[in-house]
Amino acid sequence: MPNNDPSIITPERFREKINKAQRDSVVNFGLYFAVTPDSLPHLQELAPHVIAFKLFMGESTGGINYPYDRLTEAFEAVAKTGKLLCVHAEDQEILDQGKEEYRSQFSPINHLLARPPRAEVEAIKYALELSYQYGVPLHICHVTTRDGIDFIREAKGNGFNVTAETCPHYLFMDFYDLIKLGSYAKMNPPLRCYDDQEELWKGLVDRTIDWIASDHAPHTREEKDKGLNNIWLAPGGVPGVETTSPLMLNAVNKKRLSLQQLVELMHDNPVARFGLDRYGYVEEGNVANMTIVNLEKPWKIRDEELSTKCGWSPYNGWTGRGAPVGVVINGKYYEL
């Protein structure tokens, strides 16, 4: 993600980040470059080096959203690169209205009320319209609403070049968790209701939603605790990269989807969309990357056992069955 500190909106910051990642990372990776008014002149230069471009239609952590009334210039610029555009889809005008209405109310539920489903739905509709107008391959990040899924399903049926994702926290948590966990369950878009959650599962099964993403946002306890008495002071987002696979494998064991469907959602579809075919399949000449899983392995998520530097998870104490037990990365085996 490009909304780091500092945000990845210049070629210099992009090169600094990619050099650090190449030095420190065990796994293969690709980086986004943020689309902002200031970064537009650099899109062509960086297109060969990015995995995709990321555009925040609505304000989120990092404050690098694109002015909503100028989104046409952003889509037109990305179209010239031929790259995939991944969007955070929330309508900024609706977010501004919600912030104005609820900013004097500090409980967690007001974060949900200030970012209603309509904000996501209207942004998805507008992104689809601009994608079609300018011929931009579009990916919609972290979908949370049943109406949003319906518009994506309709667009796919009409031949639009669009894919979509959702995240484990939207599949396994709802707004009651926001009430219970407070700022530790604050995220953008917010957790929704049970009916939206069930539509997400249907969207996975009927292939309207193309993959599962962790949307890993490892904010520290110190940052999250700022929202204990005022939800607006806490950043949005939760850690998720190391809990995604166990949660989804447990869902396979519970018959919410098949193992083959999970392989498509967490491997085949993103590999195809990002053009990573050399990394995607067990074939001669490809990079040897694999994940070995044990569907019977029991697990319990414990904050103190996590690898993430933030040291906490919204799933602390959750139990399940099915987990990765080893990985092969570039031909080298690592036991987990």
Residue with structure tokens 């739905």?
121
Which residues pair with residue 163 across a beta bridge? 139
CB 285 within 8 A of CB 262: no
**Burial class of residue 60 in the structure, from the number of CB atoms within 10 Å of its CB (0-12 exposed, 13-18 middle, 19+ buried):** buried
303 is catalytic: no
Return the closest-CA partner of residue 136 out of 96, 95, 76, 183: 76
Active site residue: 215, 225, 268, 277, which one? 215
What's the one-letter identity of residue 195?
A: D
Sequence-ordered list of residues with C-beta below 8 angstroms from that of 205, at least 6 positions apart, any chain:
257, 261
Phi, psi at 159, each rounded to 5°: 85, 15
Does the bond joining 6 to the residue before it have cis omega, within 30 degrees of 0?
yes
C-alpha distances out from residue 332 to 26, 277, 288, Å = 10, 19, 8
- Asked whether 221 and 246 are in contact (CB, 8 A), the reply is no
Calpha distance 191→328 (Å, rounded): 34
> What's the CA gap between 30 and 60, in Å, rounded?
21
Can you point out the beta strands (E) in the chain? 32-34, 52-56, 85-88, 138-140, 162-166, 211-212, 290-300, 319-329, 332-335
Q: Which residues are catalytic?
A: 215
